[in-house]
Chain A
Amino acid sequence: MAFRGAVITFPGSNCDRDMAVALENVSGVPALRVWHGEADLPEALDFIALPGGFSYGDYLRCGAIASRSPVMRSVIAAADRGVPVLGVCNGFQVLTEAGLLPGALMRNAELHFTCRTVPLTVENTQSLFTSGYDAGSTIMLPVAHHDGNYFADDATLDRLEGDGRVAFRYCGAVNGSQRGIAGILNDAGNVLGMMPHPERAVEPELGGTDGRILFESAIRGLVTA
C-alpha cells in the first residue's frame, strides 16, 4: 500500500518543507503539498501534517487565523473520520485553535523565544505516533518557539493525564507548560499536537534521530493497518 501523506502550508509556515522531507525520507514517497486556501484535500490521505512556522504572522493569536482557513474545514472533517493528523509547533497551536485538541498555547512563561534541543519523556507508547518508542524513555528533540506554554484548566489536565493522552512531557522547565506537557493526543488518538520538532531529528546529520521513530511508528501503523 502506497503511503499518501500531505503537508499543509499556511502563509508564514516555515517548517513545511522540512516536514515534507521527513515524511519522504521515512516513507519513501513524496508528500503531497496543500495550500491553505484549498477547500478540498487530496483523496484518500493516510496522514496530514500541520507544520511549524508563524502562520499569518501570529496575528491575533498564534494559529488562530490559520485554524479558520478553508483547508482546515477539510482537515477537521478528516480528523473526525480518523485520519491521523500531526501538528508541530505552530501546527499544535492551529490544532488547539481549531478545537481538535483541548487547551491553548500561551506566551512562554519566561518571555523568551526558546530555541534548543531538550529532553522529553515519552509518556504514552500505545498511540499510533509513539508505538516505536520504549516505554518511559527519554528522547531529545529540538524546540523553537515563543508561545509553547500549554494551558488548560485542572479538570482538562486531569482528564488528559487520566486517559493517557499526554504523549510527551518536558524533563525540565522549558516554557512554563502546565504539568510539563509538550504534546497531547485527542480522545480517539489520531490527532497529535506537540511543540518540539520531530521533523528536525530524522537523520544523524541533523543532530539526532529521535524524531524519526515518530514518523516510522505512524507510517508502519498505517501500512499494516
Chain B
Amino acid sequence: MKVRVHVSLKPGVLDPQGRAVHHALEGLGFTGVDDVRVGRLVELDVADDTTDAALDEMCRKLLANMVIENYRIEKL
C-alpha cells in the first residue's frame, strides 16, 4: 500500500521558507498570492495490513514534530 504523509507547519507558526518563496513569486510578477507555506511530503510503501493507528504513530513519533507541525495521511 502506498501512503502519502503531508506535513505542514501549524497555522500561526511563522514559515520563513514560505515567506521567501512568496517573495520570489512576487518578484516573478505573480500577483494575488496571499500566502505561501512550505511543507514536506513523505511517501511510504507499507504492508497492506498496516493499521491506521500504526500510521498515526509513525507520524506522531517521527515524521511530524507535533510542537510546530500538523500532518495529513493520504492512502493511494
Interface residues, chain A, with chain B CB atoms under 8 Å away: 60-61, 64-65, 68, 96-97, 102-104, 106-111, 149, 151-152, 176
Interface residues, chain B, with chain A CB atoms under 8 Å away: 13-14, 16-17, 20, 61-63, 65, 67-68
Asked if B65 and A104 sit within 8 Å, CB to CB, the answer is yes
Asked if A108 and B63 sit within 8 Å, CB to CB, the answer is no
Q: Known contacts A61-B65, A151-B68; can you find 16 more A-B pairs with CB under 8 A?
A: A64-B65, A65-B62, A68-B62, A102-B67, A104-B65, A106-B13, A106-B16, A106-B68, A108-B16, A109-B16, A110-B16, A111-B20, A151-B13, A151-B14, A152-B67, A176-B14
* Chain B: minimal CB distance from A96 (Å): 8
Asked if A104 and B20 sit within 8 Å, CB to CB, the answer is no
* Chain B: minimal CB distance from A87 (Å): 16
Q: Give 12 pairs: A residue, B residue, CB < 8 Å, sorted on A.
A: A68-B61, A97-B65, A104-B67, A104-B68, A108-B16, A109-B16, A111-B16, A111-B17, A151-B14, A151-B68, A152-B67, A176-B14
* Chain A: minimal CB distance from B4 (Å): 16
The distance in angstroms between the C-alpha atoms of A149 and B9, with both chains bound, is: 14
The distance in angstroms between the C-alpha atoms of A104 and B10, with both chains bound, is: 13
Which residue of B16, B17, B65, B68 contacts A176 across the interface (Cβ within 8 Å)? Answer: B16
* Chain A: minimal CB distance from B74 (Å): 19
Of the candidates A61, A64, A109, A176, the one having the most CB atoms from chain B within 10 angstroms of its own CB is A61
The distance in angstroms between the C-alpha atoms of A151 and B68, with both chains bound, is: 8
Q: Which residues of B contact A103 (CB under 8 A)?
A: 67
Q: Which residue of B lies closest to A156 (CB)?
A: B67
Q: Which residues of A contact B16 (CB under 8 A)?
A: 106-111, 149, 176
The distance in angstroms between the C-alpha atoms of A107 and B67, with both chains bound, is: 15
The distance in angstroms between the C-alpha atoms of A106 and B68, with both chains bound, is: 9
Asked if B68 and A60 sit within 8 Å, CB to CB, the answer is no
The distance in angstroms between the C-alpha atoms of A111 and B17, with both chains bound, is: 7
Q: Which residues of A contact B61 (CB under 8 A)?
A: 68
The distance in angstroms between the C-alpha atoms of A107 and B21, with both chains bound, is: 14
Nearest 9 interchain pairs by C-beta? A104-B67, A104-B68, A107-B16, A109-B16, A111-B16, A104-B65, A111-B20, A61-B65, A151-B68
Q: Which residues of B contact A151 (CB under 8 A)?
A: 13-14, 67-68
Q: Which residues of B contact A108 (CB under 8 A)?
A: 16
Given contacts A109-B14, A151-B13, contact A60 B20 (CB under 8 A): no
* Chain B: minimal CB distance from A136 (Å): 29
Q: Which residues of B contact A97 (CB under 8 A)?
A: 65
* Chain A: minimal CB distance from B35 (Å): 16
